[in-house]
Amino acid sequence: MEKTAQAKLGKKKLTGDQWQKITIIGLILAVCIAFSFLSEAFLTLENLMNILLQMSVVCIMSFGMTIIIINGGVDLSMGVIIAFTGVVAALFVKGGKDGDSTGNIYIGLLLGILAGALIGFINGTVVARFGLAPYIATLGMQLTLKGVTYLISSNSPIYVAPTSDFRLVAQQKLFGFLPLPILYTIFFGLIASFILKKTVLGRHIFAIGSNDEAARLSGINLPVVRTMAYTLGSTFAAIAGVLYAARVNSGNPTAGAGYEGNAVVATVLGGTSMAGGHGSISSAVIGAILMTLLQNGFNLMNVNTNYQMILTGVILIISVVVDRIRREKAMS
């Protein structure tokens, strides 16, 4: 009996997801080793803290993107949501002229997050109620919101006074060394994971992404769940947006440009299927870590951003192709 059990355990194979996570973790280690030799600044404490800060924005965005992609959609407006919510928060906190800060910072942060949630609700409604393709609906929102952001900011950054506590929301350090955004990332990651794994809404999000017709026949309200998925996704993007604004102590209308691409790459690279119905928050974190390390390392080496964009696009295409091959093997 013992030999039989041992034989079964010995024959147990790793799943495709497990292999992908192991591969990405291996790549993360390889990237760290490579950049540590290529740049003396890579492993300095200052740069490691900078990596963590950069990663926090991508991670929190990726939490939202993961929820939407698992549900069978995608949100191309997330990058602009970063800018829009940051500008909204900064405008309220500023509250006066010449950078005077007379507004309540917590109300400003809340308004920014609610503004992002509203954008997600609109995206979800357009996709779920009117049947528009997610790419078209969210691309339209991206263009519209970009114009609105430039209008309310008068095409220039909204600077908050250096004396304001607004910056402390993202610049303070716990125990004198751990940046608060890292704690925010862990906290919101746990919330996103709880929603997907432990709630009825999370189960319905997976069900619709796997087979929307079967989900409908089982009694799931598709329009409501899809709208909720987009609302949640944009809420996480808004949280990332106001934290980014607090970190730089200003709301910049150009902030977040191209971040939606990074969020999609991080999400898919970690193992979430673009076809929907499959993925996890932990996978998004792994993907976000790798993307942030690559971006940081290339910046230290002064690699042209155009080449970095090319690499990001190539990684996305490869990730989607690998995901498709994996799904075809699973179905055969």
CATH number at residue 156: 1.10.3470
Q: Is residue 207 part of a domain?
A: yes
State both tokens at 293: 């390390």
CA atoms of 263 and 186, how far apart (whole Å): 17
List the chain pLDDT tens, one digit each, 332 residues.
445 545 444 556 766 667 777 888 888 999 999 999 988 889 888 898 888 888 999 999 999 999 999 999 999 999 999 999 999 999 988 864 455 555 788 899 999 999 999 999 999 999 999 999 999 999 999 999 999 999 999 999 999 888 788 888 888 888 777 889 999 999 999 999 999 999 999 999 999 999 999 999 999 999 999 999 999 999 999 999 999 999 999 999 999 888 898 899 899 888 888 888 889 999 899 999 999 999 999 999 988 988 888 888 888 888 888 778 777 776 76
The predicted pLDDT at position 97 comes to: 47
Question: How far is 247 from 92, CA to CA, in rounded Å?
Answer: 16
pTM above 0.75, yes or no: yes
Whether 5 is in a domain gets the answer no
Helices (H), the chain: 2-11, 16-38, 45-70, 78-94, 105-130, 134-153, 168-171, 180-198, 200-210, 212-217, 222-248, 259-269, 281-300, 305-331
Question: β-strands 250-251, 173-174: how paired?
Answer: unpaired
Phi-psi region of 210 (alpha: psi -120 to 50; beta: other; left: phi over 0): alpha
* Any domain includes 139: yes
Q: Is residue 31 part of a domain?
A: no
In a domain, 218, yes or no: yes
332 domain residue, yes or no: no
Which residue segment(s) compose the domain that 121 sits in? 45-325
Does residue 16 sit within a domain?
no
- Is 331 within a domain? no
What is d(CA 82, CA 237) in angstroms, rounded to the nearest whole number?
A: 6
Number of domains in the chain: 1
